[in-house]
Each structure stands twice: as C-alpha cells, then as structure tokens.
Amino acid sequence: MGRRMRKENSDFKTAFVSEAGSFLKNRDFYGCVELEDWACYVMADGLDTDTEVNSAQITVQTILESFLEKPTMSKRRLTEYIKIAHEWLQYESRRVRLKAGFVIVVTDYTRMVWASAGHSRLYHFRGNRLALKSKDHSVAAQLAAEGQIAEDRVDQHDERGNLNEYAGKPGMIRPYVSDKIKLADGDVLVLCTPGLWEGVQDAEMIDAVEGANDPQTLADTLEEVMLSKQRARIENYSAAAIYVNKIFHEEPKNRKKWIKRIAIMLAMLLIFGGAGIFYAVKSAAKKAELAVDMLQYEQTADQYVKEQEYAKAVSDYSLARNNSIKIKDPIHKKLLTAKMAAAQTLVDGEAHLKEGDITKATASYTKALELSEPYSMFDREVIQERLEQMTTFQQVQDWITEGDLKLQNGDYSGAIILYKRARTAATETAYKDALKEIATKLEAAETKRADIKRQSRQLQADTLEQKGDRFNEAGDYSGAMDAYASAQEIYQEIDMLERVLAMERKINKLDEKLNPPVPAADLTQDAAGLGSVDSSGLTSDLTGNVGGLNGGNSADNSSSAGNVTSAGSGAVDDSGTSSSGKTNNTSNNSTSKANGSTETTEAEANEQESAEGGDS
C-alpha cells in the first residue's frame, strides 16, 4: 500500500460553523485543503477593527498557499509559512495594525502536527476523553503556567484576551509548533475561536462529542450550547470538527520478529566462537535490540533528510551511530558517520547564513554537495540551488555595502539605485532577511533625496519670487507677473501652500496695475459719445447735447465750424464750459466736418477748450 494511497485508505470527515454573532461582519475565517498525502486545516480569529481588510482571511489563505506549494509536517517549514503570513499582515497594515490569532492542524492521515499563536484553540478527543487542549498565548495562560491562577480560571479571566503572540504583531512572531502526534481511529479534533470556547466549558464540549456521531452534528451542538448561555453580546464565533474515522495504517514493522532473528544469528556466531550458551543468548538479545533501534533511528533520520529537517536528522543519525559503536558494527558506523556529516554541513550552512556570513555558508553548502553525493535521500538539486543562491546573496550584500557608502557620502540617487538592484535580486532568490534590511535603507535614502530635491526647488522658487519683486519695483509688471507665476507653480509642486497664496496676492496686485478699473462716470460718457456712421462717413446719429451754446461762444464756434463735441449731460454754463464735465477721452472728442472732415486729436480738443475758457 503506497504513500500515494493515504487519503483513499483513510477516512477523515470535516464540517464547520462560523457566524458574526452580535456584529455586522464576521472577522473569523476557516479554510482547509485535503491532498492525497497531506491535509491542512486552519482556523483564524481577526483581532483588529479594519473594515476593508480581513486579517483572518489573509492569514488562512497565505498559510494554505504556502502549504500547497510544498506540503509538509516539518516544524521548520510550518514556522516559515506562519512567518510569511505574519509579514503579510505587517505589510498590509496601512490604516490600522492588522492582527489575527490562529490554530493549524497538519496531518499525513496517520500523525498530526499542530501550531498556534493567539487564543484560537485545538481540542483533541480520544474515546470521549479530552486528550489535548492547546495553550493560549495570553497573559491569563501565563499566569496559570506560573501557578498564580488555577488552570480552570483561564477561560474566564480578565486577561484571557491580552495576547503576547499573534500574527501581525510588531517584530518577530514566535508560534508554538508541536511534535508529531500519532492519531487513532475514532479521534475527534475541534478547532475553534474564542467566541465559541468562552461560551462552552470543557465538560460541555466532552458531552457534545459523546452525543454526536458526525462532524456537522458536533459543530451545530457546540453552537447551540454557546448560544444557550444568552450572553448580552455574542462575539464572532467559529468551530470546525474533524472526525478521524480511520487513519492510514502503515505496513506493520515486526520488531519482535527482527529482534528474534538477529538474536539467533548473533547467538550462533557467539556459540561457534566458543562462548557459553547462556551468555551468548543474553548478549545476542541485547545486541539485537540495539541493532533494531539503530536501524529505526537511521530510517527516521533518512526521512528527516527528505523533509529537509537536517538538525533532527543529525540527532537521529548520532543515536544510530552510538548504537553501531555499542554493537561493534563498523560498517554501519562508517555509513552513519558519513550521513551525519553531510546533514551537519547543511545545518551549519543555514546557521552561517542566518548570521550573515555568506562566505562560510557557501563553504558549508559546497561541502554538503560533495558529502551527500552517495546518498539518495539528500535532494542534491535543492542543495545546488542553495549554493547558487549564495552567489546572489553575496552580490546583494555587496550592493548593500556599496549603497551604504554612497548614502554616507550624500549620493542619495546612487544609493537608491544600488538598494533597488539589491532588492530585485533578493526578491528573486527569496533572501528575506536582506529584504527587510534593504527596505529600511531604501526608505531612508529616498527620504533624504526627497528632502534635498524639495530644498532645491524651494530655492528656485525663492529666487524667482525675488526676481519678480525687482521687476515690480522697476515698473516691469509683465516681467514680474511671469516670475511670480513661475514661483507659484514650484511652490504648488512642493506643497508650500502659504507661499502659493502669497504669490496669488502679488499676482492680483500686478493685475490691477496692468488693467486698472474704468470709473463708472467715464463708462457713461463713453456710451453717450458713441454714434453710428453711415456709408458716406457722416455721423447719422449723435447722442449728447449739442445746443445750448450762448452768444459769447459764437466767435469760437465759427472758427471751428463743423466740429461738434459731445458732453456727458449737455448743460453748458454762460462761459461756454460744460457744467457736468467735458469728455476728454479720445473716443469722446471725435469731431467731424462735412464733405471730407478731418479728426482733431485729444490734445487739440483740450487746447480748444482752454482757449474758449480764456476768451470767456
């Protein structure tokens, strides 16, 4: 029965319930994937108040996406998947900090591993008995662990919601990831958020498990128990039930049979060597047991290598090697020593990389590639890829160092180019530790460059404003207008609102100088002085008063025969001067002479009026 048949030869049934409670929006989220060899179940509880982004959904989907890409029960990889979800929440925290608690169960249909951060919980029932309940990452749970409060008080303690671990928290997340736990036929798993377990006591949950025959009935029963408490406010609540009706059974390893066989073989060797029968049998049995343990340790270590859990592999290879020494098996001792050395170089490589010593990491991976060649359980392609990454990682570090130097020397644009180049390479090779460092340095360089650019643009605008002031004082209003407009545009660009408004005031004052307002009286006279001229050039319609001139002006009138001057009101006093004001505008001093008349200028008209005044 092959590994590919695991799902087909097991029976896992699931069902869940999830409601918003007293709230308009449900911020809980549940998701699962069931593959041929693996299954992953994730329950998350949104802890923030963002109305646009569901932090629980981001957490569940990110973890499941990572799991689908590479299914595993490896502690290290599951921790890495959790850190990816944690970093996504930090990245998306633009308006408010996104936060989520979660619980994860991963199984190969024979065993399970669970992980959590926050106070969403896992309950594991076996034979209608609570075999396991996950610990919360809360102050209340910490008080219970320290013996300051009783365990049964955690669920109702005021500090049960005060968490010290959750996805999206500032800094690094430290989730709990369990060891592998053997499952059994008939096991029941319950994943739930605090909105449910706060209203269902452990005893009530056990009763619900005893009374339910399938996961949907259990989920519905838990919901009914919680709602029956009739609390004034019901939080978002969710529960997922997993019924392990049948696990996948590995082909049994007949330990006693092998011990017996090896014992007989060793006993025969000892007997033929001249040892006593009693001693031979006893010694052979002991050595046989050590040999079986050695082989099992080796098999477990080989599996850890396939899962790339190299530190665990080193530990089990070491135990197997110790047994080989005890039973004086030089062949296995040599084999196990070589495997352990290959795995240790990979552990060393990761340690050096975490410390940022890429040179030593490269040396370790190179040695690992060499030492792992004889053994098929080592994925040499993965090791080769890791080794190739070291070249890129070193280049990334070199670019970062060069960028730091440019930043120190004030070459912010040069530093930004190098940081972006390093960021691209780090992204392509998943160099996550470097990405965080680059992001911080790039932001600092861009901020400094933006400040310099702003200062430069402000200086340009200030220079243009001063230039406008000089033009204004010199009477070059058009030049001043252009300078002020250019300065205003730059102030607008760099968000200096006060200076933008100041330029607007200066421009308005210039506009008044360039286009002074026309007095209302002149506008009336202009309108009164306009006439219409027919095709022969003669005035066909004159508005204004042309009469009322007295005898004292007859001589003057005869000297300017044919000229008519329009006035605003037409009233003229005895001296011949208009009492309501003469029209001095050129357009209002237009005169005509019949049959080819000539037009007098404004100056001539004024001289005429002065002469008339002198005559009078």
Nearest-angstrom CA–CA distance, 14 and 218:
10
Nearest-angstrom CA–CA distance, 304 and 285:
29
Do 60 and 199 sit in the same domain of this protein? yes
For 608, the 3-state DSSP assignment is: helix
**CA neighbor of 102 nearest in space, from 39, 60, 134, 64:** 60
Do 303 and 367 sit in the same domain of this protein? yes
Do 63 and 211 sit in the same domain of this protein? yes
Give the bridge partners for 167, in sequence order.
100
pLDDT of residue 286: 77
Give the 3-state secondary structure of 524-548: HHHHHHCCEECCCCCEEECCCCCCC
Nearest-angstrom CA–CA distance, 75 and 79:
6
Q: Which of 195, 224, 246 is the last residue of a domain?
A: 246
Q: How many CB atoms lie within 10 A of CB 294?
A: 23
Q: Is residue 554 part of a domain?
A: no
Do 158 and 200 sit in the same domain of this protein? yes
pLDDT of residue 357: 83
Contact 45, 101 (CB under 8 A): yes
Do 412 and 502 sit in the same domain of this protein? yes
Collect all residues with Cβ–Cβ distance below 8 Å to 375 and sequence separation of at least 6.
305, 338, 339, 342
Nearest-angstrom CA–CA distance, 397 and 434:
8
Q: Is residue 91 part of a domain?
A: yes
Instruction: Name residue 555's amino acid.
Output: A
What total number of domains does the chain contain? 3
pLDDT of residue 271: 53
Q: What is the CA radius of gyration of the chain?
A: 47
Q: Is residue 475 part of a domain?
A: yes
What does residue 255 show for φ and ψ, rounded to 5 degrees?
A: -60, -45
Q: Is residue 472 part of a domain?
A: yes
DSSP string, 221-284: HHHHHHHTT--SS---EEEEEEEEEEPPPPPP--HHHHHHHHHHHHHHHHHHTT--HHHHHHHH
Q: Is residue 108 part of a domain?
A: yes
Cα dist. 12→185, 215, 521 in Å?
10, 10, 99
b/e burial code for range 422-453 (CB count within 10 A of at least 16 → b): bbebbeebebeebbebbeebbeebbeebeeee
Do 188 and 201 sit in the same domain of this protein? yes
pLDDT of residue 256: 61
Q: Which of 217, 246, 275 is the last residue of a domain?
A: 246
Q: Is residue 284 part of a domain?
A: yes
Give the bridge partners for 177, in sequence order.
115
Do 262 and 192 sit in the same domain of this protein? no
Contact 248, 6 (CB under 8 A): yes
Q: Is residue 556 part of a domain?
A: no
Instruction: Name residue 84's amino acid.
Output: I
pLDDT of residue 431: 78
Q: How many CA atoms lie within 13 A of 356 on its CB side?
A: 9
Do 407 and 348 sit in the same domain of this protein? no
Q: Look at phi and psi of residue 246 and say left if phi exceeds 0, alpha if psi is from -120 to 50, else beta.
A: beta
Q: Is residue 581 part of a domain?
A: no
Residue 18 is given by DSSP the state E
Supply the CATH number for residue 225's domain. 3.60.40.10
Contact 482, 514 (CB under 8 A): no
pLDDT of residue 265: 62
Handedness of CA 151, 153, 155, 158 (dihedral sign): negative
Collect all residues with Cβ–Cβ distance below 8 Å to 573 and sequence separation of at least 6.
579
pLDDT of residue 385: 82
Contact 539, 592 (CB under 8 A): yes
**Given the DSSP bridges, would you call strands 111-117 and 181-182 parallel, antiparallel or unpaired?**
antiparallel
Q: Which of 211, 246, 281 is the last residue of a domain?
A: 246
Collect all residues with Cβ–Cβ distance below 8 Å to 371 and sequence separation of at least 6.
338, 341, 342, 345
Do 394 and 350 sit in the same domain of this protein? no
Nearest-angstrom CA–CA distance, 196 and 471:
77
Do 80 and 223 sit in the same domain of this protein? yes
- Alpha-carbon dihedral angle through residues 383, 384, 389, 394, given to the nearest 10 degrees: 100
Taking the chain (616 residues) in runs of 10, the rounded mean pLDDT of each run is 71 95 93 95 94 92 95 95 95 87 97 96 95 94 88 86 93 95 96 95 95 96 94 93 93 60 59 48 72 88 92 91 87 89 90 82 90 89 83 84 88 90 83 83 89 90 93 89 92 92 92 79 56 42 40 40 38 38 39 39 48 43
Do 64 and 187 sit in the same domain of this protein? yes
Q: What is the value of pTM for the model shown?
A: 0.45
Do 437 and 371 sit in the same domain of this protein? no
Q: Which residue range is the domain that position 140 belongs to?
A: 17-246
